[in-house]
Structure 1
C-alpha cells in the first residue's frame, strides 16, 4: 500500500516528465502571452488587474523554470515569449 507521499511523488514525476503542471491562472497567462508576444509584465498587470504584481512575477518565474516561456532582457525592459514545444 502506497503512502500519500509516495502517491504525490509519483504524480509529480508524471507532471515533471510532461514539462510541468500549470494551474488555471498560469494557463490564462500563457494563452495571453502566446497571442500578444513579446510582452512585458506591465502589459500583463494591465490585462489581469485582479492578479497582484508579485503573484504575476511568481507565476512567470515558475513558468520559466518549467521551460514554458523565456525572458529576454533584464529589469523593466524584459519581455516574455512562449517556448514552442
Structure 2
C-alpha cells in the first residue's frame, strides 16, 4: 500500500517539528523553561510534559510554543507564561 501524499506530508512535518524539539532540548533556553515548569509538576517528571507542550500551538501566536521561545525575547515570554500557569496549579 502506498502512503497518500497528504499523509506523507503530515508525517514529514511532524518529523521536522520533532527534529527541532530534539535540538531545542539541548539548549540553555530549554533548561530555563524546564525550571519554570517544574514547580507545577512536582509529582512527576516535567520533561515529557514540557516537550509535548512545546510542540503544541501557542494561542495568540502563529506557531508553536517552541517557535515563540526561539524568537528574540520569546523564551522570557514563554517562561513567564509557565510561571503564571504554575501559580494556578501549585496554589
Normalized against structure 2, the TM-score is what?
0.28
Higher strand share: 1
Higher helix share: 2
